A and B are shown apart, each in its own frame.
Chain A
Amino acid sequence: MKTVKRCFLLLLAAALLTGCAGRSTEEVRRKVYFVAKSMDTQFWQAAFAGANAAAAEYNVELTVLGPETEEDYQGQNEYIAQAVREGAQALVFSAISYEGNAAAVEQAAQSGLKVVIIDSDVASDSVSVRIGTDNIEAGHMAASAVLDTDSASITVGIVNYDLNSRNGQEREAGLRESLSADARVEGIYTINVLTTPQAAQEGAEKLLAEHPEINVILGLNEPLAVGAAMAVDALGLEGQVRMVGFDTNVKCIDLMQTGAVTALVVQNPYAMGYLGVEYAWKLTQGESFDANELVDTSTAVITKENMFTLESQRSLFPFL
């Protein structure tokens, strides 16, 4: 009789346990913060669209933050602190300053946040995943667009942004590497400006005035590309100065049709945003990845010839 009683109690306990377990498997909604470099360029808008798509798919509570200007790394640090304060489980981050954001990222990682870096890296060992363009390779691609010309001599002007920003420096390094290998290149001049079209336009005009032999000018991100293209357009240098830019902006596309813009190296911000949130979610589920291996998002070179193919339309004009 004792064994019967014991069996009975065991079965009852098992029944109750499985009954309770049924209720405890409800999925927890993960809290992810996305701190971008800025809020309103076309590049970041596309990244946010991708991030939102992933947030909807993985049922993630996503908060998107970004400073006013692309120099305000302290503002970014404050947003990171805010994410920690408000109990986020993961941070998707694009660093304005390779060094300046490091402490804040370390702090966040120590507080238990999983850190996913997109687009632009930070000097920290606590990063779990890195997603973005291989910027050195993007520099090579820009260089081949620069070199795709019949001119016998090439002088290059580069409008670059903050010296501390990792991806800008990598792009320039890749660019210079390829250009130095070509005998036609006679000079490379760089100017570093604030990340606004106006500053870039002024910088480009200054560079063109100081070095009139420049026949190719580059803007290494979206606002700088717009500024450099506007400088070419404003100075009426279409056909004399070729312009190669990064990323896609309506202004650049307009100017590509007038001939002021020769080529655009278009990154994939939508994929960065999407993958950033997707990986953040995977990390909160306990998966782990090799942070030293970049998750590469595709990069394409758009010229006037291919700009209206269906593929180009889709990558140039976000389907919002």
Chain B
Amino acid sequence: MEKRAKGKGLSMNAVLMLAILSAAAAVLLCSMLVFLRTYRQSLYRSAQTNARRTISQAAGTVEEYLDDINKLMELLEQSLEEGETGRAEFFDTFLAIRPDVVAASTYDGTGRLVHCYSLTGSVRPGVTVNLSFDAGRMEDYRDGYVSAPHVVSLFEGYYPWVVTMIAPLDIPGEEAWVALDISCSNISSYINGIGIGQRGYCFLMDGRGDIVYHPQQQLLNYALKQEDSGYIAQLADGSHVAGSVIYTVQSLKNGAWRMVGVSYVDELISDSVNEAVRILIPSVLLILAASLIIGAVLSQTLSRPIHSLAEAMERFERDADSFVYTPVRGMAREARMLSESFGHMVQRIRQLVENARNEEINLRKTELKALQAQINPHFLYNTLDSISWMCEQGKNAEAVRMVNALAKLFRISISRGHELISIRSELQHAESYLQIQSYRYKNQFTYSFDVQEDCLDYLCNKITLQPIIENAIYHGINGLVDEGEIRVRVRTEGEDVLFTVEDNGSGMDQQQIQAIMSKDRSDHAGIGIKNVNDRLKIYFGSRYGITIDSRPDEGTRVTVRMPKVRQEAEYENR
């Protein structure tokens, strides 16, 4: 549990951001694709509608023009059928008001040119080829005929492009024809002017797929441009998409010609789609930026408080004592609630820990006080026995010193209930004890004190030295044949005070040392070394306490380490 799952997986912040961004991107992508698809389709439709409308208008205009010419033709037929009188004048007027009519000619039954009326040119002598009237095709002319555009080959120095209309004349008794050469310029300038989109155009073709008039005729002539007339010829009326080209076809009323519109998908549609994409991309980027902002705000309100809460918990876990709780800021109610609950929990845990520690100390104190209140009855009995023996022997002075020592022992033991007493008093206590014991053991041992003067006023736990000395006497000196020696030393080491009690007795092995350090006294009377050690640790912390250094047959040294304590209050209430 020490190593956290830190670094593994993504932080909540990143997850939130990623989720929002990817959702936004996905939605945008989908809607953009759908939009572009629909947009493209509607553009296709509108391009086709547009082309159809343009072509139908163009076709209408050309039809109207042809109708107009047809009416002229009827007028001419009537006038020609009426007879010769005033014909020249009629034609002069007719040609003057219709400048688009280049020539009006009459032919006899053999196809010979009878008359040619024209304001712009005169018929050359010896016409070799007549492109306006082909005597071999008279059968085709019987129901009225409109030719493909051609050059008028009748005049000298004048070769206009025309369309020829031919109709039979209804003159009884003879076969005759009238042919009108109508300038192409009207139709061509009209068709040239029609544009579909930027590059689109329209042209006229006949039923067999031959081109009647094309605005880029010259380019077609020189193969600078190709028109797939075979393909277009088999198309029905309407709009047809072939690759990137839209062909729009409409038949004219005269049945012979078809108007074909050519427009380009790439310019009509691709350009608009590209334009739309150009407009869309910045807005998409803006929306993504906005979603980033939203993500940042969300993380501010949600993930950040949680993140700092998690951090606070980790800090608390690591070091509960010095942890300072600061409420987490954030807008989400849940985050605030979590933070508050955590705050309460921290307080509660602290309280519980504090309580547990206090209870432990109280328990020890009570235990100690109970122990302190007891005096080892054997010790008291033996001591009193010794005193009584001294009195019997008349060793009054010694008996008095003994009683005084006993009295001092008790007084310091009680110490008006204080736990901490001055080292001076503790040393007096130890000395009194040693005095009494040395009488009792009939001077089997000697003792000495070696105390650093500046230590005397520091405080220490009462009854610290006595159990150690007791142990030295019972386990070290007691079985010794030679005279024993107990040395008590007190000195400072940095901020600590060290007490050492050395004896030259029989010493202890490791097992015995452990037993002493871990067991309460088996007679349940008085205070043992373990008890002293526990108290030191409770009062001052784990680095303080007792260490025992001993070798069998060489002696024992017990060291007590405690801090320099100047006032009882410093540690009393911990």
Contacts and interface: CB of A to CB of B under 8 A. Distances in A.
Nearest to B210: A310
Given A18-B281, A250-B158, A319 B218 contact: yes
Given A275-B224, A319-B161, A1 B218 contact: no
A153 interface: no
B218 A50 contact: yes
A317 interface: yes
Given A257-B124, A313-B151, A314-B218, 6 more contacts: A8-B292, A15-B289, A22-B278, A57-B199, A250-B159, A271-B224
A17 B148 CA distance: 56
A152 interface: no
Q: Which of B158, B285, B286 has the most CB of A within 10 A?
A: B285
B296 A11 contact: no
Interface in B117-156: 124, 126, 128-129, 131, 150-151, 153, 156
Contact of B159 (A7, A8, A49, A317): A317
Contacts of B157: 250-251, 254
Contact of B150 (A53, A257, A297, A313): A313
Interface in A3-19: 4, 7-8, 11-12, 14-16, 18-19
Interface in B269-299: 275, 278-279, 281-283, 285-286, 288-289, 292-293, 295-296
A262 interface: no
A317 B286 contact: no
A318 interface: yes
By Cβ-Cβ distance, the 8 closest A-B pairs, closest first, are: A15-B285, A22-B278, A15-B282, A11-B289, A19-B282, A271-B222, A270-B218, A314-B221
A101 interface: no
A308 interface: yes
B216 interface: yes
A253 interface: yes
A4 B222 contact: no
Interface string A237-274: 00000000000001101100100000000001011001
A257 B285 contact: no
A311 B221 contact: yes
A21 interface: yes
A282 B275 CA distance: 24
A18 B282 contact: yes
11 contacts: A4-B296, A15-B283, A15-B286, A53-B216, A254-B124, A254-B156, A257-B124, A271-B224, A304-B128, A308-B131, A317-B159
Nearest to B223: A298
Interface string A266-304: 001011001100000000000000000000011000001
Interface residues of B, number: 39
B289 A12 contact: yes
Interface residues of A, number: 41
A315 interface: yes
Interface string B151-185: 10100111101000000000000000000000010
Q: Which of A1, A11, A46 has the most CB of B within 10 A?
A: A11
Contacts of B428: none
Given A19-B282, A22-B278, A275-B224, A4 B17 contact: yes
Contact of B295 (A4, A57, A251): A4
Nearest to A275: B224
B492 interface: no
Q: Which of B124, B217, B222, B223 has the most CB of A within 10 A?
A: B222
Contacts of B289: 8, 11-12, 15
Contacts of A274: 218-219, 224
Contacts of B131: 308, 313
Contacts of B161: 317, 319
Contact of A22 (B17, B156, B279): B279
Contact of A298 (B153, B222, B275, B293): B222
A1 B304 CA distance: 11
Nearest to B21: A7
Nearest to B159: A317
B188 interface: yes
